[in-house]
Structure 1
């Protein structure tokens, strides 16, 4: 007896439609996912091409830590890498601090970083280390101190001596001497001779043209030992005791090396009506543009500042002599910041090679908050900002650093002159 099989066509049709609907949905999701990743990839390529942030130039772990820390890590596997007997940078404190910062993105040395990620805009303008310096083992960023309302002259209001000379003999000023554990001032000792057979070009005549402009966007940034004060933010409207004096040290040293220098000493709080500290770089930009308009030979623009950290962090010792440390600052808001960074890197590398411990590295800064982020560096590829010393550095320390900094700048200058001369000769021969 034959059995009759009954097929429920409606049920199978319903199942087929359900499978087709699911397949269609999965196919649609696959297409959307593929498009999403394509757009994401294109966006990443565009961001890499358009973004000028200094962060994009930092490749790998080595650029995130100081040179000595990285060398000591390699030395743990390569015993003969470090020849000199010296204290290892991989101490419990440094290692704990580094691991903590790596895992949490919070810098134990900077309490502001604890809330930077939670407050919009606060973490976006943090300085970025572009080139580490041996004078900054913990990779501490520059510290700025924004004055409050009503710019005060600590030299006149704090019992200082605004009219006194910078070379204050030890023990004869109103400030506490540097801690005995800190680098000494080395008064009375001769400066160390130039290394690697360098020639002392002191007394060389200038070329007759002024090629370097030294100016000050924050002209009242002062130094406690020079003002006889004990302030967290020493300032002076005089021509001594502040960055004006350091600019004079630097310009005099460059002149002795045969390079013409123009030193602008504009005190904007006095010169500008309704002065606003937040517009400091707007005021100094006018100074720079006016100088460029009057002198076509000006091609190197150096804005001299000072850091706000204490003596122990801003001073190093070389041959028992104290030197003020320096920061090089590059503005990320300048689309061509890499050109300016290349100029700063030349000076930084020479300092590292001949006077290790003086440079605290090359740092990049975005705009936003109290940061200008451009620092007049769009006006020339050879425009940089240099912070020399901190609030507690003495005149002798500042003068020594200004002298060796002038030596390094002069070397870069004369190297550039040779290149320009060779290019001009090649062009004339080709014509």
Structure 2
């Protein structure tokens, strides 16, 4: 009898042990599955954050690479009553393969340099990614910002002011006044008596124009064509001055900085250009509460065939809009650039070569754009354009920027009226 009882006890203990083992295995399996789930969740979150923060991997990059007619066709398939009048461009196998390659890797099949850029630290490929496409834009050709080949200050010396930057509101040498250089414009500087009175900001300066690379010039404007197109006198600051003048003509108060950093900064270093210009922008913001729009004007390094367009028999320097990926709020700056880009496309078809995003792989990637939402870098023309072509583009920019400003002011006033 005792033996039977002992056997029963042993049996119960054995079953209890098996149950514990089964329970332990189940717990371990559940723990492992939970760990895997949370790891995958974290990876997915990081991937989502990277995708939404980067113009390189965003769906906007896909949207920019295909025609508006493509999306019109998609709507027609879902909505038979919708009839798109947009011309359709074929979505080729090459486009699909390029999009997939750039989404999964940092390699641009259209740019062989990108194959080596990741392995050779000294070699930086052009990492500009098209966010919004301009009319007729070749998606394989983006902006190109090259380091100057030479540096030769005009007077051979620097100031002794350390890293201080002079006042930002000066216009410099009046001999470089845009009015004294030959230029054709399609719009008078002031409204005629027959035109409706032009609205004005009065004494308020709402637009600030500056130049991080202020000596960028053009081969046709230089006497010595053998050097890099940079000049201490005839350079991109003249285009900035023209833009400010034409904004004023459209009633929008503008402030222009033509600071010559190579002579204003002791021991000037080209690679620190945006550090110097950031100080300029911060000083401007501190000195005026009215400033709303900020424009860093550059001259691109691409050749003439990529930077010039004829509109109504006149040649214009085309523009690239640059958005820095390093700026955490780049989407807001891109939204501002989009307003200008779309307005230009409507009034001057083909003058904009689109909006491009840049990472830190080959540039500053911030461009002072974190200082204000309505802040954008604009490349006006390239090394082979002329000052006159750049002036025409500055006039076009002033026209659409002023329109945007007054539309926003009107909408803001209407909203305040409803609130009251």
Normalising by the residue count of structure 1, what TM-score does the alignment of the two structures yield? 0.72
By how many angstroms is 1:406 displaced?
Answer: 0.8
Shift of 1:285: 1.0
How far, CA to CA, are the matches of 1:72 and 1:315 in structure 2?
29
Q: Aligned partners of 2:259, 2:204: CA distance in 1, in Å?
A: 22
CA change 1:127–1:69 in 2 (3 A) is farther
Most deviating of 20-29 and 268-277: 20-29
Secondary structure (helix, strand or coil) at the match of 1:214 reads: strand
**Aligned pairs for 1:50-61 within 5 A:** 53-55=53-55, 58-59=58-59
On the 8 A contact 2:51/2:58 being kept in 1, the answer is: no
* Alignment counterpart, residue 381 of structure 1, candidates 356, 373, 381: 373
Q: 1:257 aligns with which of 229, 250, 253?
A: 250
| TM-score, with length taken from structure 2 | 0.74
In the TM superposition, what is the alpha-carbon distance from 1:266 to its structure 2 partner? Answer: 0.5
Query: 1:305 is matched with which residue?
Result: 298
State how 1:125-204 maps to structure 2 within 5 Å: 126-148=127-149, 151-152=151-152, 191=186
Distance 1:325 1:113 in 2: 26
Unpaired runs of 5+ in structure 1?
Answer: 1-16, 157-162, 170-186, 194-198
Alpha-carbon distance, 1:137 to partner: 2.8
- Does the Cα contact within 8 Å between 1:328 and 1:387 map onto a contact in 2? yes
Contact kept? 1:215, 1:263, Cα under 8 Å = yes
Aligned-pair RMSD on alpha carbons?
4.3
Whether contact under 8 Å (1:54, 1:130) holds in the other structure is no
Q: Deviations over 1:338-366 (max 9, x none)?
A: 22111111111111222221111112222
Q: Is 1:281 equivalent to 2:274 in the alignment? A: yes
Larger mean CA deviation between 119-128 and 203-212 belongs to: 119-128
**1:325 is aligned to 2:318:** yes
Which deviates more, 228-237 or 263-272? 228-237
Q: Could you tell me how far apart the structure 2 residues matched to 1:425 and 1:165 are?
A: 42
SS of the equivalent of 2:206 reads strand
Give the CA deviation at 1:274.
0.5
Cα-to-partner distance string for 1:299-333 (whole Å, 9 max, x where unaligned): 11110011110000011122222111111111222
Q: Within 2, Cα distance between the matches of 1:295 and 1:271?
A: 22
- Whether the aligned pair in 2 keeps the contact of 1:143 and 1:309 (CA below 8 Å) is yes
Partners in 2 of 1:357 and 1:219 — Cα distance? 26
Equivalent residue of 2:220, what SS? helix
1:385-404, aligned counterparts within 5 Å?
385-404=377-396
Alignment of 1:29-40 (within 5 A): 31-40=31-40
Q: 2:220 aligns to what?
A: 225
Distance 1:232 1:312, change over 3 A: farther
Shift of 1:128: 2.5
* Residues 389 and 398, structure 1, Cα contact 8 Å, conserved in 2: yes
Residues 1:111 and 1:229: Cα distance change in structure 2 (over 3 Å): farther
CA displacement 1:45-80 (0-9 Å, x = unmatched): 355358762338732784151537857998xx99x9
Indicate conservation of the 8 Å contact 1:72/1:89, yes or no.
no
SS in 2 for 1:55: coil
Question: 2:125·2:362 contact (CA, 8 Å) conserved in 1?
Answer: no
**Does the aligned pair in 1 maintain the 2:322–2:357 contact within 8 Å?**
yes
Look up the match of 1:209: 204
CA distance in 2, matches of 1:301, 1:317: 28
Cα displacement (A) at 1:138: 2.5
How many pairs are equivalent?
374
Structure 1 distance, partners of 2:197, 2:224, is: 34
Q: What residue in structure 2 maps to residue 101 of structure 1?
A: 98
**2:328 is aligned with 1:335:** yes
Alpha-carbon spacing, 1:289–1:165, altered in 2? closer, same or farther (3 Å): closer
